[in-house]
Amino acid sequence: MPTLRRAQRSEAARGAADADADVVEKVATPDRSRDKAVDKTTPKRRDGARIPTLVQFPLVAAISFATASLGYSVVAELTKGELASVSRSQETQQDIGILAGWRIFELALSWFSGLDGLDVAMMDFLSHGPAMYLLFAFYNLSPRTAIAALAVDVVSASVPFSLLRPFSAVHKPSSKLPNRELIGLPLQLLTAALSTSIYTVVLVTSLRYLLPQIFVLHFNGLPNLEPAYAASYATVLPVTLLFGAAASTFIFPPFATTGKTKEDERVTNFNPVEASLGETMWWNFLGYTTKAKVAIGRTAVTLLVTGVNTYLACAMTIPGVEPTGAAAYAGVWVFAALCTGLGLGLVGRD
């Protein structure tokens, strides 16, 4: 019968369609399974947060030392050993241990203080720059070699941090922070100009009236003393401009964007009449707002690394420099950093 035949043909068509669908599904299923297997076996990108905590800092130190060793080898090759000609090599294990130990301390201080790659770069420039300026200005080291050597120091310290730790919120333009407008470009230029002016005045004054006598008495075999007597604001400005920008970048943004905390209320509401002896002593020594503590901490770190690193670099790596002369020269840069920190603190205070 026609009706029965049509029904049989319809059922046969549906059966063929279902069979085709099964074939398509069987063909497609292995591809999906393979994609899932690939997803499961493909390693995900690792960052500093996925590396065990105990391994992170040793890895930072290892990368830093390896980068510095490679960088100085390249500099020596490209400059035909010019830097070595004005430096003395470390002959005893004690000297090598002191310099290596201080470098590890610098890295540890930066790492456990929560600094990011940009912070470390600015801090390292402030601490290694004075010794390199001395070699450039008074030991006839060429600008190319001085810049290359300083770049090696800065890069070898900051690169491990950039690899294992993201930039902090203060260095991300998209982040929301209190007083964000205080670190806009106009005010950044103003704070950099303020820092530059302080470094310029301190350095020129020291070169004219203090350092010539120090150089004569405690820097044996100094090749050139003329830059000290001929120092002017114009001649040192290219150098102090870099120091001013680095100091303002390291100290001012974290300080200016620090908001109020509950601890600030305790400081503000302190009443010396009703306070106990312990509370009074606490207020005298630690009675600073969170914002002020950030400025004090950043300035203190700058003073420490600038002073110690400049002293060690002069006394242990430059021939003929006596400890007294190294300490005096380091003191000039420490004083400049201190005045800069005080000036930036006055600008950003509430």
Residue spans of the domains in the chain: they are 54-348
Find all residues with CB under 8 Å of 112, minimum gap 6, and list them: 57
Residue 178 CA to residue 19 CA, distance in Å, equals: 66
More reliable by pLDDT, 343 or 6: 343
- The pLDDT assigned to 51 comes to 86
Average pLDDT over the chain reads 85
Three-state SS at 47: coil
Q: What is the pLDDT of residues 199-222, one digit of tens each?
A: 999 999 999 999 999 999 999 999
> Which token pair is 59?
């890895």
The DSSP result for 154-208, as a single string, is: HHHHHHHHHHHSPPPGGG-TTS--TTGGGGSHHHHHHHHHHHHHHHHHHHHHHHH
Report the pLDDT averaged over residues 66-81: 96
Mean pLDDT of 21-32: 42
What per-residue confidence (pLDDT) applies to 49?
Answer: 54
What's the CA gap between 54 and 227, in Å, rounded? 48
Number of H helices, E strands in the chain: 14, 0
- pLDDT band for position 48 (cuts 50, 70, 90): low
Q: Among the ranges 23-37, 81-95, 279-293, which has the highest mean pLDDT value?
A: 81-95
CA count, 13 A, side-chain hemisphere, 132: 25
pLDDT tens for each residue of 208-263: 999 999 999 999 999 989 999 999 999 999 999 999 999 999 999 999 888 887 87
Q: What one-letter code names the amino acid at 1?
A: M
Two tokens, residue 48: 């500093």
Confidence of residue 45 (pLDDT cuts 50, 70, 90): very low
Which pLDDT belongs to residue 350? Answer: 66
Per-residue pLDDT tens digits for 174-195: 778 877 777 888 989 999 999 9
Tokens of 25: 């599904």
The number of beta carbons lying within 10 Å of the beta carbon of residue 282 is 15
What is the average pLDDT across 331-343?
Answer: 97
Mean pLDDT, rounded, for 324-341: 98
pLDDT tens, residue by residue, 269-287:
777 777 788 777 877 777 7
pLDDT band, residue 288 (cuts 50/70/90): confident
**Mean pLDDT along residues 144-159:** 97
3-state secondary structure of 168: coil
d(Cα 33, Cα 196) in Å, to the nearest integer?
63
- In terms of C-beta density within 10 A (0-12 exposed, 13-18 middle, 19 or more buried), how is residue 244 classed? buried
pLDDT at 23 over 70: no
Dmax over CA atoms of the chain, in Å, equals 126
Model confidence, pTM = 0.82
| pLDDT beyond 60 at 43 | no
Residue 146 pLDDT exceeds 90: yes
Q: Give 268's Cβ-side CA count (13 Å radius).
A: 11
Residues 113 and 295 sit within 8 Å (Cβ to Cβ)? no
**Residue 312 has what pLDDT?**
97
Q: What is the pLDDT of residue 348?
A: 75
Asked if 325 and 215 count as a contact pair (C-beta separation under 8 A), the reply is yes
As given in the structure block, the two tokens for residue 18 are 């279902």
Cβ atoms of 255 and 298 within 8 Å: the answer is: yes
Check if the beta carbon of residue 191 is closer than 8 Å to that of residue 347. Answer: yes
Does residue 145 contact residue 138 with C-beta atoms inside 8 Å?
A: no
